[in-house]
């Protein structure tokens, strides 16, 4: 484990007064997946974590349906942890990084909200939803073309 993470591990082992940050969560995941971390966390794969991410998503839905906002906060944290976990495994395999996940979703939200970010204003919410779907279909078609070209 690199010295930076060793120092963070010591820091996280002490009583904490300040709130944790997203970067802290990512460091905690790196520590858990390190040789000095948790054997269970190190053994996990994309496939082995499917039931965990599915369960956490279901718990978010349940908290919303029950209007249990305290539990919703906790369950959203659990779901965020799954995103961090998957991103860490991907980074370890050289597939993609957490930053790429954030960049990808941010770019997608900007593209899919031309009303807000592009100056084009649909007249109604219905037209806005239709525009969202049109953009989504165009993105999927472009992605399929790119994958097909990549295979050729």
pLDDT at 40 over 90: yes
Confidence of residue 152 (pLDDT cuts 50, 70, 90): confident
Domain ranges of the chain: 1-43, 112-152
Q: Is the dihedral of CA 86, 89, 93, 96 positive or negative?
A: positive
Whole-number Å distance between alpha carbons of 9 and 2: 11
Return the axis-axis angle of helices 50-65 and 69-92, rounded to nearest 10°.
160
pLDDT digits (tens, 9 = 90+) for 45-77: 999 999 999 999 999 999 999 999 999 999 999
φ, ψ for residue 48, nearest 5 deg:
-70, -20
DSSP 19: P
């Amino acid at each position: 484990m690199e010295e930076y993470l060793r120092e963070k591990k010591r820091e996280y082992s002490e009583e904490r007064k300040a709130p944790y940050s997203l970067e802290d969560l990512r460091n905690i995941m790196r520590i858990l997946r390190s040789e000095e971390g948790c054997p269970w966390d190190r053994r996990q794969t994309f496939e082995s974590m499917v039931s965990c991410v599915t369960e956490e998503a279901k718990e978010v839905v349940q908290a919303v349906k029950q209007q249990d906002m305290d539990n919703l906060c906790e369950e959203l944290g659990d779901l965020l942890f799954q995103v961090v976990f998957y991103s860490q495994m991907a980074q370890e395999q050289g597939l993609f990084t957490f930053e790429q996940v954030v960049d990808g979703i941010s770019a997608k939200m900007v593209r899919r909200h031309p009303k807000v970010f592009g100056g084009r204003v649909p007249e109604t919410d219905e037209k806005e939803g239709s525009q969202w779907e049109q953009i989504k279909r165009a993105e999927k078609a472009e992605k399929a073309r790119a994958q097909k070209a990549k295979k050729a």
